[in-house]
A = this chain, B = another copy of it.
Amino acid sequence: MNRLDETHDTKRVSWVPGAEPGSDFPIQNLPIGIFSSDGEERRAGIAIGSHILDLAAAADLLDPTWARDFAQPVLNSWLSRGPADHRELRLRLSQLLSDPGRRDAVEPFLVPQVEARMHLPCLIGDYTDFYVGIHHATNVGRQFRPDNPLLPNYKYVPIGYHGRASSVRASGQPVVRPSGQRKPPEADAPEYGPSRRLDYELELGLWIGRGNDLGQPIPIGEAAGHIAGYCLLNDWSARDLQAWEYQPLGPFLAKNFLTSVSPWIVTAEALAPFRKAIPPRPDGDPQPLPYLKDAADTEAGAIGIQLEVTLSTERMRAEGVPPHVLSRGSADSAMYWSAAQIVTHHASNGCNLQPGDLIGTGTLSTADDYGLGSLLEISRGGKQPVTLATGETRCFLEDGDELSMRGWCEADGAVRIGLGECVGRVIG
Protein backbone atom coordinates (compact mmCIF):
# COMPACT_ATOMS: atom_id res chain seq x y z
CA MET A 1 0.00 0.00 0.00
CA ASN A 2 1.49 3.28 1.11
CA ARG A 3 5.10 2.97 2.25
CA LEU A 4 6.22 4.94 5.28
CA ASP A 5 8.51 7.84 4.50
CA GLU A 6 9.89 10.95 6.15
CA THR A 7 6.38 12.41 6.47
CA HIS A 8 5.66 9.71 9.06
CA ASP A 9 8.83 10.45 11.07
CA THR A 10 7.71 10.57 14.69
CA LYS A 11 10.40 13.15 15.53
CA ARG A 12 9.14 15.65 13.01
CA VAL A 13 7.09 18.43 14.65
CA SER A 14 5.46 21.54 13.32
CA TRP A 15 5.95 25.05 14.61
CA VAL A 16 2.21 25.78 14.06
CA PRO A 17 0.34 26.22 17.37
CA GLY A 18 -1.74 23.25 18.47
CA ALA A 19 0.11 20.71 16.33
CA GLU A 20 1.70 19.00 19.33
CA PRO A 21 1.64 15.21 19.52
CA GLY A 22 -1.68 14.15 20.99
CA SER A 23 -3.71 16.60 18.93
CA ASP A 24 -5.93 15.52 16.03
CA PHE A 25 -3.82 17.38 13.49
CA PRO A 26 -0.08 16.97 14.05
CA ILE A 27 2.24 17.24 11.05
CA GLN A 28 1.89 13.49 10.48
CA ASN A 29 -1.79 13.95 9.58
CA LEU A 30 -2.26 16.88 7.14
CA PRO A 31 -5.87 16.21 6.10
CA ILE A 32 -7.36 18.26 3.28
CA GLY A 33 -10.73 20.01 3.25
CA ILE A 34 -12.75 22.96 1.97
CA PHE A 35 -13.12 26.04 4.16
CA SER A 36 -14.17 29.66 4.03
CA SER A 37 -13.43 32.59 6.29
CA ASP A 38 -14.07 36.31 6.39
CA GLY A 39 -16.84 35.94 3.83
CA GLU A 40 -14.34 34.82 1.19
CA GLU A 41 -14.93 32.09 -1.36
CA ARG A 42 -14.64 28.45 -0.47
CA ARG A 43 -11.18 27.02 -1.09
CA ALA A 44 -8.89 24.16 -0.17
CA GLY A 45 -7.05 24.02 3.11
CA ILE A 46 -4.95 21.66 5.19
CA ALA A 47 -5.55 21.19 8.91
CA ILE A 48 -2.40 21.68 10.98
CA GLY A 49 -2.73 22.03 14.74
CA SER A 50 -5.41 24.55 15.56
CA HIS A 51 -5.04 26.22 12.17
CA ILE A 52 -5.80 25.78 8.49
CA LEU A 53 -3.17 26.41 5.86
CA ASP A 54 -4.90 28.18 2.97
CA LEU A 55 -3.66 26.06 0.07
CA ALA A 56 -5.09 28.36 -2.56
CA ALA A 57 -3.10 31.27 -1.19
CA ALA A 58 0.02 29.24 -0.39
CA ALA A 59 0.21 27.31 -3.67
CA ASP A 60 3.33 29.19 -4.77
CA LEU A 61 5.18 27.76 -1.77
CA LEU A 62 4.20 24.24 -2.82
CA ASP A 63 3.64 23.89 -6.57
CA PRO A 64 2.06 26.72 -8.56
CA THR A 65 0.50 24.24 -10.99
CA TRP A 66 -1.77 23.08 -8.18
CA ALA A 67 -3.18 26.56 -7.56
CA ARG A 68 -6.18 26.12 -9.84
CA ASP A 69 -7.31 22.96 -8.07
CA PHE A 70 -6.87 24.55 -4.64
CA ALA A 71 -8.87 27.66 -5.57
CA GLN A 72 -11.97 25.63 -6.42
CA PRO A 73 -14.89 25.32 -3.99
CA VAL A 74 -14.65 21.51 -4.06
CA LEU A 75 -11.74 19.07 -4.15
CA ASN A 76 -12.93 16.88 -7.02
CA SER A 77 -10.24 17.95 -9.48
CA TRP A 78 -7.51 17.67 -6.85
CA LEU A 79 -8.67 14.20 -5.84
CA SER A 80 -8.74 13.08 -9.47
CA ARG A 81 -4.97 13.67 -9.69
CA GLY A 82 -4.33 10.44 -7.86
CA PRO A 83 -1.80 9.19 -5.31
CA ALA A 84 1.46 10.53 -6.81
CA ASP A 85 0.42 14.19 -6.53
CA HIS A 86 -1.21 13.56 -3.16
CA ARG A 87 2.02 12.08 -1.83
CA GLU A 88 4.02 14.97 -3.24
CA LEU A 89 1.75 17.55 -1.57
CA ARG A 90 2.11 15.70 1.71
CA LEU A 91 5.89 15.64 1.43
CA ARG A 92 6.17 19.35 0.63
CA LEU A 93 3.73 20.30 3.41
CA SER A 94 5.62 18.14 5.88
CA GLN A 95 8.85 19.93 5.04
CA LEU A 96 7.30 23.40 4.88
CA LEU A 97 5.42 23.20 8.16
CA SER A 98 8.30 21.69 10.13
CA ASP A 99 10.98 24.12 8.95
CA PRO A 100 11.19 27.08 11.34
CA GLY A 101 13.05 28.97 8.61
CA ARG A 102 9.87 29.07 6.49
CA ARG A 103 7.65 30.32 9.30
CA ASP A 104 7.62 33.95 8.15
CA ALA A 105 6.70 32.92 4.63
CA VAL A 106 3.91 30.58 5.69
CA GLU A 107 2.30 32.38 8.62
CA PRO A 108 0.28 34.85 6.50
CA PHE A 109 -1.56 31.89 5.00
CA LEU A 110 -2.63 30.30 8.29
CA VAL A 111 -6.24 30.75 9.38
CA PRO A 112 -7.32 29.79 12.93
CA GLN A 113 -9.85 26.96 12.70
CA VAL A 114 -12.16 28.80 15.09
CA GLU A 115 -12.46 31.60 12.54
CA ALA A 116 -13.20 29.29 9.60
CA ARG A 117 -16.27 27.50 8.42
CA MET A 118 -15.85 24.00 7.03
CA HIS A 119 -17.84 22.79 4.04
CA LEU A 120 -18.51 19.56 2.22
CA PRO A 121 -15.14 18.74 0.61
CA CYS A 122 -16.51 17.48 -2.72
CA LEU A 123 -19.35 17.75 -5.15
CA ILE A 124 -20.58 14.22 -4.59
CA GLY A 125 -21.58 12.58 -7.84
CA ASP A 126 -22.83 9.46 -6.10
CA TYR A 127 -23.03 8.37 -2.50
CA THR A 128 -23.09 4.63 -1.82
CA ASP A 129 -23.60 3.04 1.55
CA PHE A 130 -22.26 -0.41 2.32
CA TYR A 131 -23.11 -2.82 5.11
CA VAL A 132 -19.74 -4.35 5.98
CA GLY A 133 -20.07 -4.02 9.76
CA ILE A 134 -20.78 -7.65 10.47
CA HIS A 135 -21.65 -7.19 14.15
CA HIS A 136 -24.15 -4.48 13.24
CA ALA A 137 -25.63 -6.65 10.48
CA THR A 138 -25.92 -9.50 12.97
CA ASN A 139 -27.45 -7.33 15.70
CA VAL A 140 -30.02 -5.80 13.37
CA GLY A 141 -30.71 -9.08 11.59
CA ARG A 142 -31.35 -10.75 14.94
CA GLN A 143 -34.13 -8.26 15.69
CA PHE A 144 -35.93 -9.42 12.52
CA ARG A 145 -34.75 -13.03 12.26
CA PRO A 146 -33.58 -14.32 15.68
CA ASP A 147 -32.44 -17.71 14.37
CA ASN A 148 -30.91 -16.54 11.13
CA PRO A 149 -29.56 -13.00 11.54
CA LEU A 150 -27.20 -12.95 8.55
CA LEU A 151 -28.62 -13.63 5.10
CA PRO A 152 -26.90 -16.28 2.94
CA ASN A 153 -25.21 -13.71 0.67
CA TYR A 154 -23.55 -11.69 3.46
CA LYS A 155 -20.25 -13.59 3.57
CA TYR A 156 -19.88 -13.58 -0.22
CA VAL A 157 -21.15 -10.15 -1.25
CA PRO A 158 -20.03 -6.82 0.20
CA ILE A 159 -23.65 -5.66 0.47
CA GLY A 160 -24.24 -2.06 -0.53
CA TYR A 161 -26.88 0.27 -1.91
CA HIS A 162 -27.12 3.73 -3.32
CA GLY A 163 -27.82 6.61 -0.97
CA ARG A 164 -28.74 10.23 -1.58
CA ALA A 165 -25.93 12.56 -2.65
CA SER A 166 -27.92 15.82 -2.43
CA SER A 167 -28.49 15.59 1.32
CA VAL A 168 -24.92 14.89 2.43
CA ARG A 169 -23.68 17.78 4.57
CA ALA A 170 -20.59 18.67 6.57
CA SER A 171 -20.56 18.24 10.33
CA GLY A 172 -22.65 20.82 12.15
CA GLN A 173 -25.68 20.72 9.89
CA PRO A 174 -28.84 20.70 12.04
CA VAL A 175 -30.86 17.50 11.85
CA VAL A 176 -34.46 18.37 10.94
CA ARG A 177 -36.59 15.54 12.31
CA PRO A 178 -38.09 13.89 9.22
CA SER A 179 -41.74 13.07 8.77
CA GLY A 180 -42.94 10.02 6.94
CA GLN A 181 -45.20 7.01 6.90
CA ARG A 182 -44.95 4.89 10.01
CA LYS A 183 -47.06 1.91 10.93
CA PRO A 184 -46.76 0.30 14.34
CA PRO A 185 -47.32 -3.48 14.11
CA GLU A 186 -50.62 -3.18 15.97
CA ALA A 187 -52.05 -0.48 13.66
CA ASP A 188 -54.27 -1.31 10.68
CA ALA A 189 -52.85 1.37 8.45
CA PRO A 190 -49.87 3.72 8.42
CA GLU A 191 -50.03 7.41 9.19
CA TYR A 192 -47.81 10.30 8.16
CA GLY A 193 -46.04 12.26 10.88
CA PRO A 194 -42.69 13.07 12.52
CA SER A 195 -40.42 10.09 13.11
CA ARG A 196 -40.57 8.77 16.67
CA ARG A 197 -37.50 6.57 16.31
CA LEU A 198 -34.78 8.90 15.07
CA ASP A 199 -31.36 7.28 15.23
CA TYR A 200 -27.76 7.69 14.11
CA GLU A 201 -25.37 5.22 12.52
CA LEU A 202 -21.62 5.36 13.11
CA GLU A 203 -19.70 4.78 9.89
CA LEU A 204 -16.49 5.59 8.12
CA GLY A 205 -16.66 7.37 4.78
CA LEU A 206 -14.29 6.71 1.87
CA TRP A 207 -13.60 9.48 -0.62
CA ILE A 208 -12.88 8.29 -4.15
CA GLY A 209 -9.86 9.85 -5.85
CA ARG A 210 -9.25 8.61 -9.37
CA GLY A 211 -12.32 7.08 -11.01
CA ASN A 212 -12.77 4.32 -13.56
CA ASP A 213 -14.46 4.31 -16.95
CA LEU A 214 -17.93 2.87 -17.39
CA GLY A 215 -17.61 -0.82 -18.23
CA GLN A 216 -14.07 -1.10 -16.73
CA PRO A 217 -13.90 -2.90 -13.38
CA ILE A 218 -11.15 -2.06 -10.86
CA PRO A 219 -8.91 -5.06 -10.05
CA ILE A 220 -8.47 -5.62 -6.33
CA GLY A 221 -4.74 -4.91 -6.57
CA GLU A 222 -5.49 -1.43 -7.90
CA ALA A 223 -8.35 -0.52 -5.58
CA ALA A 224 -6.24 1.27 -2.98
CA GLY A 225 -5.05 3.72 -5.63
CA HIS A 226 -8.65 4.89 -6.10
CA ILE A 227 -9.22 5.78 -2.43
CA ALA A 228 -8.16 9.33 -1.64
CA GLY A 229 -9.01 9.29 2.04
CA TYR A 230 -11.40 8.77 4.89
CA CYS A 231 -13.84 10.63 7.12
CA LEU A 232 -16.43 9.96 9.81
CA LEU A 233 -19.97 9.51 8.55
CA ASN A 234 -23.30 9.64 10.34
CA ASP A 235 -26.06 7.87 8.44
CA TRP A 236 -29.01 9.45 10.28
CA SER A 237 -31.88 6.98 10.24
CA ALA A 238 -35.61 7.08 11.00
CA ARG A 239 -36.27 3.54 12.21
CA ASP A 240 -40.06 3.71 12.07
CA LEU A 241 -40.04 4.95 8.48
CA GLN A 242 -37.43 2.31 7.63
CA ALA A 243 -39.36 -0.63 9.04
CA TRP A 244 -42.43 0.21 6.97
CA GLU A 245 -40.88 1.28 3.67
CA TYR A 246 -37.80 -0.88 3.15
CA GLN A 247 -39.29 -3.95 1.49
CA PRO A 248 -38.54 -4.88 -1.25
CA LEU A 249 -36.12 -2.22 -2.53
CA GLY A 250 -34.23 -1.16 0.59
CA PRO A 251 -34.08 1.99 2.76
CA PHE A 252 -35.09 5.26 1.11
CA LEU A 253 -36.82 8.10 2.98
CA ALA A 254 -35.64 6.59 6.29
CA LYS A 255 -32.12 7.68 5.34
CA ASN A 256 -32.06 10.32 2.64
CA PHE A 257 -33.13 13.32 4.74
CA LEU A 258 -29.51 13.88 5.86
CA THR A 259 -26.09 12.26 5.98
CA SER A 260 -23.33 14.08 7.90
CA VAL A 261 -19.58 13.77 7.37
CA SER A 262 -16.56 15.11 9.23
CA PRO A 263 -15.13 17.78 6.95
CA TRP A 264 -11.48 16.69 6.72
CA ILE A 265 -10.31 14.04 4.28
CA VAL A 266 -7.68 12.09 6.17
CA THR A 267 -5.55 10.73 3.39
CA ALA A 268 -4.59 7.15 2.72
CA GLU A 269 -0.95 8.27 3.14
CA ALA A 270 -1.58 9.60 6.67
CA LEU A 271 -3.23 6.32 7.63
CA ALA A 272 -0.35 4.14 6.38
CA PRO A 273 1.21 3.58 9.86
CA PHE A 274 -2.11 2.31 11.20
CA ARG A 275 -2.76 -0.32 8.57
CA LYS A 276 -2.77 -3.89 9.73
CA ALA A 277 -3.62 -7.39 8.66
CA ILE A 278 -7.27 -8.26 8.13
CA PRO A 279 -8.27 -10.76 10.82
CA PRO A 280 -8.55 -14.25 9.32
CA ARG A 281 -12.04 -15.38 8.37
CA PRO A 282 -13.66 -17.34 11.20
CA ASP A 283 -13.70 -21.12 10.82
CA GLY A 284 -16.41 -22.20 8.45
CA ASP A 285 -16.67 -18.86 6.66
CA PRO A 286 -16.04 -18.96 2.91
CA GLN A 287 -12.94 -17.35 1.47
CA PRO A 288 -13.56 -14.26 -0.67
CA LEU A 289 -14.15 -15.03 -4.35
CA PRO A 290 -10.97 -14.56 -6.42
CA TYR A 291 -11.92 -11.07 -7.70
CA LEU A 292 -12.02 -9.87 -4.07
CA LYS A 293 -8.80 -11.57 -2.97
CA ASP A 294 -5.42 -9.88 -2.82
CA ALA A 295 -2.48 -10.76 -0.59
CA ALA A 296 -1.42 -7.13 -0.12
CA ASP A 297 -4.93 -6.16 0.93
CA THR A 298 -5.16 -9.09 3.34
CA GLU A 299 -1.88 -8.07 4.90
CA ALA A 300 -2.66 -4.36 5.30
CA GLY A 301 -6.33 -3.89 4.48
CA ALA A 302 -7.60 -3.14 7.97
CA ILE A 303 -7.09 0.29 9.51
CA GLY A 304 -6.80 0.78 13.23
CA ILE A 305 -9.24 3.66 13.64
CA GLN A 306 -10.70 4.16 17.11
CA LEU A 307 -14.25 5.47 17.23
CA GLU A 308 -16.26 7.16 19.96
CA VAL A 309 -19.83 8.46 20.01
CA THR A 310 -21.21 10.84 22.63
CA LEU A 311 -24.64 12.28 23.30
CA SER A 312 -25.62 15.48 25.08
CA THR A 313 -29.17 16.54 25.71
CA GLU A 314 -30.40 20.11 26.03
CA ARG A 315 -30.69 19.60 29.78
CA MET A 316 -27.21 18.12 30.07
CA ARG A 317 -25.76 21.16 28.34
CA ALA A 318 -27.80 23.53 30.50
CA GLU A 319 -26.64 21.79 33.66
CA GLY A 320 -23.03 21.53 32.52
CA VAL A 321 -23.11 17.74 32.51
CA PRO A 322 -20.44 16.33 30.19
CA PRO A 323 -21.56 14.34 27.14
CA HIS A 324 -22.55 10.72 27.69
CA VAL A 325 -20.33 8.17 25.96
CA LEU A 326 -22.61 5.89 23.96
CA SER A 327 -19.88 3.76 22.42
CA ARG A 328 -16.17 3.21 22.07
CA GLY A 329 -14.66 0.72 19.68
CA SER A 330 -12.36 -0.01 16.78
CA ALA A 331 -13.25 0.06 13.11
CA ASP A 332 -10.89 -2.69 12.02
CA SER A 333 -12.52 -5.43 14.07
CA ALA A 334 -15.95 -4.36 12.83
CA MET A 335 -15.42 -4.58 9.08
CA TYR A 336 -15.99 -7.91 7.36
CA TRP A 337 -14.84 -6.42 4.04
CA SER A 338 -11.91 -4.06 3.49
CA ALA A 339 -12.07 -0.67 1.79
CA ALA A 340 -10.30 -2.20 -1.24
CA GLN A 341 -12.86 -4.99 -1.43
CA ILE A 342 -15.67 -2.43 -1.22
CA VAL A 343 -14.24 -0.43 -4.12
CA THR A 344 -13.50 -3.47 -6.29
CA HIS A 345 -16.91 -4.97 -5.69
CA HIS A 346 -18.62 -1.65 -6.49
CA ALA A 347 -16.91 -1.49 -9.88
CA SER A 348 -16.97 -5.25 -10.56
CA ASN A 349 -19.94 -4.93 -12.94
CA GLY A 350 -18.39 -1.99 -14.77
CA CYS A 351 -20.08 0.70 -12.64
CA ASN A 352 -18.03 3.87 -12.94
CA LEU A 353 -16.79 5.59 -9.79
CA GLN A 354 -15.88 9.25 -10.07
CA PRO A 355 -13.53 11.57 -8.17
CA GLY A 356 -15.39 12.91 -5.15
CA ASP A 357 -17.76 9.98 -4.81
CA LEU A 358 -18.52 9.11 -1.21
CA ILE A 359 -18.81 5.55 0.05
CA GLY A 360 -20.01 4.68 3.56
CA THR A 361 -18.82 1.48 5.19
CA GLY A 362 -22.11 0.80 6.96
CA THR A 363 -22.54 0.93 10.69
CA LEU A 364 -19.47 -0.19 12.62
CA SER A 365 -20.32 -1.99 15.83
CA THR A 366 -17.93 -4.04 17.90
CA ALA A 367 -18.63 -7.64 18.83
CA ASP A 368 -19.09 -6.61 22.46
CA ASP A 369 -21.64 -4.19 23.88
CA TYR A 370 -19.25 -1.25 24.36
CA GLY A 371 -18.97 -0.21 20.77
CA LEU A 372 -22.45 -0.47 19.30
CA GLY A 373 -22.89 1.96 16.43
CA SER A 374 -26.56 2.91 16.73
CA LEU A 375 -29.25 3.46 19.35
CA LEU A 376 -31.27 0.68 17.69
CA GLU A 377 -28.60 -1.72 18.90
CA ILE A 378 -27.81 0.00 22.22
CA SER A 379 -31.48 0.13 23.25
CA ARG A 380 -32.21 -3.36 21.87
CA GLY A 381 -34.72 -2.08 19.36
CA GLY A 382 -36.12 0.52 21.77
CA LYS A 383 -36.66 -1.89 24.67
CA GLN A 384 -33.74 -0.97 26.97
CA PRO A 385 -33.39 2.78 27.39
CA VAL A 386 -30.04 4.41 28.12
CA THR A 387 -30.04 6.35 31.42
CA LEU A 388 -28.10 9.61 31.40
CA ALA A 389 -26.48 11.45 34.34
CA THR A 390 -29.43 13.85 34.48
CA GLY A 391 -31.82 10.94 34.98
CA GLU A 392 -33.16 11.38 31.47
CA THR A 393 -33.52 8.25 29.39
CA ARG A 394 -33.15 7.64 25.66
CA CYS A 395 -34.15 4.87 23.32
CA PHE A 396 -33.94 7.17 20.31
CA LEU A 397 -32.98 10.81 19.71
CA GLU A 398 -35.14 13.62 21.10
CA ASP A 399 -35.27 17.21 19.87
CA GLY A 400 -32.30 19.15 21.20
CA ASP A 401 -30.05 16.09 21.44
CA GLU A 402 -26.56 16.55 20.06
CA LEU A 403 -24.67 13.57 18.73
CA SER A 404 -20.91 13.69 18.27
CA MET A 405 -18.61 11.16 16.62
CA ARG A 406 -14.85 11.24 16.94
CA GLY A 407 -12.19 9.03 15.39
CA TRP A 408 -8.43 8.70 15.84
CA CYS A 409 -5.53 6.35 15.20
CA GLU A 410 -2.84 5.23 17.61
CA ALA A 411 -0.10 2.68 17.06
CA ASP A 412 3.34 1.89 18.43
CA GLY A 413 5.98 3.87 16.62
CA ALA A 414 3.53 6.37 15.16
CA VAL A 415 2.22 9.77 16.18
CA ARG A 416 -1.51 9.77 16.98
CA ILE A 417 -3.69 11.39 14.34
CA GLY A 418 -7.37 12.31 14.47
CA LEU A 419 -10.22 12.36 11.99
CA GLY A 420 -11.82 15.33 13.73
CA GLU A 421 -15.48 15.18 14.63
CA CYS A 422 -18.89 14.77 13.08
CA VAL A 423 -21.63 16.56 15.02
CA GLY A 424 -25.32 17.14 14.58
CA ARG A 425 -28.10 18.50 16.76
CA VAL A 426 -31.71 17.44 16.31
CA ILE A 427 -34.31 20.15 15.79
CA GLY A 428 -38.04 19.47 15.77
Contacts and interface: CB of A to CB of B under 8 A. Distances in A.
Interface of A: 125-126, 131, 141, 151, 153, 156-157, 159-167, 169, 176, 178-181, 183, 189-192, 214-215, 217, 238, 241, 244-254, 256-258, 286, 289-291, 345-346, 348-354, 357
B238 A349 contact: yes
A167 B251 CA distance: 21
Given A153-B245, A164-B351, A253-B349, 19 more contacts: A125-B166, A131-B249, A153-B183, A156-B181, A161-B250, A161-B252, A162-B164, A165-B165, A166-B214, A167-B352, A169-B214, A176-B215, A181-B289, A191-B289, A192-B291, A248-B250, A249-B250, A250-B250, A257-B349
A140 B322 CA distance: 53
Given A192-B291, A289-B190, A159 B249 contact: yes
A164 B248 contact: no
> How many copies of this chain sit in the oligomeric assembly?
2
Most chain B CB neighbours (cut-off 10 Å) among A191, A250, A258: A250
A349 B162 contact: no
A166 B346 CA distance: 13
A233 to B, nearest CB: 16
A251 B249 contact: yes
Contact of A180 (B176, B178, B348): B348
A293 to B, nearest CB: 11
A165 B247 contact: no
Contacts of A244: 153, 157
20 contacts: A126-B164, A153-B183, A153-B244, A156-B190, A161-B162, A162-B162, A162-B163, A176-B214, A176-B215, A176-B350, A178-B349, A178-B350, A179-B348, A180-B348, A189-B286, A249-B250, A250-B251, A253-B348, A253-B351, A258-B350
